[in-house]
Amino acid sequence: MQPIIAGHRGVAGLYPENTRSSIMAAIQLGLEWIEVDVQPTKDNQLVVIHDHTIDRCSNGSGRVDSYTMEELRRFDFGRWFSAEFAGETILTLHELLAIAADHPISLNLEIKLDQTSINRGVVKTTVQTLQQVLAASAVNKNQILLSSFAKEVMNELAEQCLNYKLGLISEKLTSEDIAHLQAIGAYSCHLNYAETSEDDINLLHEAGYRVWCYTVNQPKDFPQLSAVDAIFSDYPQRFMR
């Protein structure tokens, strides 16, 4: 079967990741799904960015959660990739959902919280904010898949974001993952393709879970490509027929 090809951070191979330009490129390619990263600012607004600092993908420096939304807006999140994208501002979750409401695109939102500072209060507040932003948007719940590496985040998502699809992310499938998938009523398990075997895929499918694998950038690199339900790719166009 042909798996779903989900654009990783939009179309991150050709556009500055997690930006409006990258998201729109994915939509123009006709992708069904895109994956982006979401994390909180100092004033608990949710922005679309992968790293816990803005150093790599902007002309600024410092932790995302050390800036307010207004302060983050002052930085350029496109020029680092190419002068063609100069002036790209950080994308907010509100803005992303507005785009999704106007286009036939579904969103895998990966909730990123720094493991070095994660605590129950931050997790609870972040997920509560996420739930409120999602509830206020015009995007259908079926268009949303919520995921995280952090077990604490997944537990909170299961508690607060009822009736949303949940995807547990892991580097390599473990017995602990299997138990956690069941505990949270997960929809899918997201695994590193290089660490995923045919037995892993069969086990998950038999248990009723979808299997999504990251980050596959060359079709020939993943022998199990036709056996999984979806892949994430920086170059989704390479997989499109």
pLDDT for residue 117: 66
Going by C-beta distance under 8 Å and a sequence separation of 6 or more, which residues neighbour residue 63? 52, 53, 54
pLDDT at 114 over 90: no
Give the domain range for residue 150. 4-239
Query: Considering the entire predicted model, what is its pTM?
Result: 0.97
Estimate the share of the chain in helix, then strand, then coil, as percent rounded to the nearest 5.
40, 20, 40
List, for residues 69-85, the tens digit of each pLDDT value. Answer: 999 999 999 999 999 99
Are the CB atoms for 22 and 12 separated by under 8 Å?
yes
Secondary structure (3-state) at 221? helix
Token output for 64: 């995302």
Number of domains, the chain: 1
pLDDT digits (tens, 9 = 90+) for 20-71: 999 999 999 999 999 999 999 999 999 999 999 999 999 999 999 999 999 9
111 pLDDT higher than 90 = yes
Return the CATH number at 167. 3.20.20.190
